[in-house]
């Protein structure tokens, strides 16, 4: 597989943008199978963009909005970036689910997955999926469903974002945009994906508690007292009920055991229900999990992303030219908050360092899909994460 990238910082004159993409792609040779991944600033007219892309290109694509976009040359607030994947030994298949609701998430995802899967000659090696922000849907359930349907194939992607209105997030594919469905790209064939994530959090001392009553994203009790009282006792509960914006850089580390492995994920506090004392999180928290308040350190984040990417790039280089052509990145919008004064902080980790013919394309999201690797078994455990810098390389 090879990849190439076209991008533009123009987001108003979409005819010019798509024409530019077309010209650049025409100059390249497309192999037997081709698809595209598009990240676009939410301020762009996504309907127009989707229409123009669909008319211009005959290959399938998926896309999502983001409040900040990364490409091989760096970061931009306003940008449209198209990554084209083309291969003779890989197959691509895309699908968009119908509207997801709490009741029919599994069913709608199954239909979309089956549709995409049916076009592939063999089992996919990775699923790349995006969905809009919708607190009525459990993102954990989306990931778990895809995990179940694919029988454990790594799921990468996340929840599309906007600049904090949470109303302008969309996903799109050829001829369609959606504010409540999940778009997915399945890749089969000759790829050996690398999936890694990095979380630069520092635990706050004496804030660890055991979740004693919870259901999906709602935690009712911690250490036998209401979640609200527990947090209040720790002196970390704000007066207002909708708190996600405030706790964006102070996630909770949630640890639980699965197959004898301790798997951790980060969870943002979303709201406090003062009527029953429960707390809603962005992402599920199981009963019996341990939660610890943490915070993201800006300095640590910058250092660790650099180290993380250096290691990844070094590992890719060791594999030799040709094996890897693409790095996709899902970085959390919470991280964007911390680097708002210097938004190129994470981009500096790879700009100028990428191996030849490798393209980097990333987007800041409201939640990331990326599996964690079990320390003992070495197998991937698909997870919905917050606060994560996640990477898929293939």
| Cβ contact 97:112 at 8 Å | yes
Is residue 163 a contact residue for other proteins (CB under 8 A)? Answer: yes
Q: Out of 247, 252, 369, 380, point to the residue binding other proteins (CB under 8 A).
A: 247
| Rounded Cα gap, residues 290 and 256, in angstroms | 7
Q: Out of 78, 104, 107, 286, point to the residue binding other proteins (CB under 8 A).
A: 78
Structure tokens at 92: 């691509």
Using CB under 8 A as the criterion, what x/- string covers residues 302-341 for binding other proteins? -----------------------------------x--x-
| Rounded Cα gap, residues 230 and 270, in angstroms | 16
Structure tokens at 387: 């606060």
* Closest-CA residue to 393 (of 128, 139, 122): 128
- The alpha carbon of residue 202 and the mean position of all alpha carbons in its chain are separated, in whole angstroms, by 22
| Rounded Cα gap, residues 350 and 289, in angstroms | 35
Which residues, in sequence order, are bridge partners of residue 262?
257
Residue 311 Cβ vs other proteins, minimum distance, rounded to whole Å: 30
Q: Out of 194, 204, 225, 354, point to the residue binding other proteins (CB under 8 A).
A: 204
Is residue 238 a contact residue for other proteins (CB under 8 A)? Answer: yes
- Size of interface with other proteins, in residues (CB under 8 A): 24
| Cβ contact 150:124 at 8 Å | yes
Residue 65 Cβ vs other proteins, minimum distance, rounded to whole Å: 13
Is residue 215 a contact residue for other proteins (CB under 8 A)? Answer: no
| Rounded Cα gap, residues 394 and 383, in angstroms | 19
By the 10 Å C-beta count (0-12 exposed, 13-18 middle, 19+ buried), 54 is classed as: middle
Count of alpha carbons within 13 Å of 366, Cβ hemisphere only?
32
The position carrying tokens 């979380």 is 199
Residue 15 vs 245, nearer CB to other proteins = 245
Using CB under 8 A as the criterion, what x/- string covers residues 94-133 for binding other proteins? ----------------------------------------
Q: Out of 205, 320, 352, 375, point to the residue binding other proteins (CB under 8 A).
A: 205
Residue 337 Cβ vs other proteins, minimum distance, rounded to whole Å: 6
Residue 168 Cβ vs other proteins, minimum distance, rounded to whole Å: 11
Is residue 165 a contact residue for other proteins (CB under 8 A)? Answer: yes
Residues 1-20 that bind other proteins (CB under 8 A): 12
Stretch that binds other proteins, among 21-29, 97-105, 157-165, 349-357 (CB under 8 A): 157-165
Using CB under 8 A as the criterion, what x/- string covers residues 26-55 for binding other proteins? -----------------x------------
For 294-317, give one letter per residue: b (16+ CB within 10 A) or e.
Answer: bbbebeebbebbbebbeebbeebb
* Closest-CA residue to 139 (of 366, 364, 372): 366
Give the number of other Cβ atoms within 10 Å of residue 139's Cβ. 26
Stretch that binds other proteins, among 177-185, 248-256, 359-367, 371-379 (CB under 8 A): 248-256
Is residue 261 a contact residue for other proteins (CB under 8 A)? Answer: no
Stretch that binds other proteins, among 99-107, 246-254, 258-266, 278-286 (CB under 8 A): 246-254
Residue 285 Cβ vs other proteins, minimum distance, rounded to whole Å: 19
Structure tokens at 312: 């990844």
Residues 262-301 that bind other proteins (CB under 8 A): 295
| Rounded Cα gap, residues 312 and 335, in angstroms | 20
- Using CB under 8 A as the criterion, which residues of the chain lie in contact with other proteins when the complex forms? 12, 43, 77-78, 163-165, 204-206, 234-238, 245-250, 295, 337, 340
């Amino acid at each position: 597989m090879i990849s190439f990238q076209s991008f533009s910082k123009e987001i108003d004159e979409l005819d010019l943008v798509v024409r530019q993409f077309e010209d650049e792609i025409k100059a390249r040779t497309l192999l037997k199978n081709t698809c595209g991944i598009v990240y676009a600033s939410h301020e762009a007219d996504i309907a127009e963009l989707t229409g123009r892309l669909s008319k211009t290109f005959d290959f399938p694509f998926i896309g999502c909005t983001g409040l900040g976009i990364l490409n091989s040359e760096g970061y931009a607030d306003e940008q449209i970036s198209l990554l084209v994947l083309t291969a003779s030994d890989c197959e691509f298949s895309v699908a968009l689910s119908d509207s997801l609701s709490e009741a029919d998430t599994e069913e709608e995802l199954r239909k979309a997955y089956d549709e995409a899967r049916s076009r592939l000659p063999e089992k996919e090696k990775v699923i790349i999926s995006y969905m809009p922000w919708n607190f009525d849907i459990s993102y954990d359930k989306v990931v778990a469903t895809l995990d179940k349907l694919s029988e454990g194939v790594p799921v990468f992607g996340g929840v599309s974002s906007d600049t904090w209105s949470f109303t302008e997030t969309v996903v799109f594919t050829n001829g369609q945009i959606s504010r409540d469905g999940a778009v997915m790209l399945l890749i089969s064939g000759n790829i050996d994906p690398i999936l890694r994530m990095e979380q630069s959090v520092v635990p706050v001392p004496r804030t660890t508690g055991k979740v004693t009553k919870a259901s999906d994203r709602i935690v009712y009790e911690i250490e036998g007292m209401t979640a609200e009282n527990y947090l209040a006792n720790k002196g970390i509960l704000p007066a207002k009920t909708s708190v996600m914006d405030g706790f964006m850089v102070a996630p909770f580390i949630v640890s639980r055991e699965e197959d004898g492995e301790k798997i951790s994920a980060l969870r943002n506090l979303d709201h406090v229900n003062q009527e029953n004392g429960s707390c809603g999180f962005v992402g599920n928290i199981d009963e019996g999990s341990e939660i610890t308040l943490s915070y993201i350190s800006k300095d640590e984040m910058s250092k660790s992303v650099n180290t993380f990417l250096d290691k990844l790039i070094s590992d890719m280089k060791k594999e030799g030219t040709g094996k890897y052509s693409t790095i996709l990145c899902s970085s959390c919008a919470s991280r964007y908050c911390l680097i708002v004064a210097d938004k190129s902080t994470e981009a500096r980790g790879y700009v100028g360092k990428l191996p030849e013919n490798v393209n980097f394309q990333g987007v800041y999201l409201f939640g990331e899909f990326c599996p964690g690797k079990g320390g003992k078994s070495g197998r991937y455990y698909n997870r919905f994460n917050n606060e994560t810098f996640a990477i898929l390389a293939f």
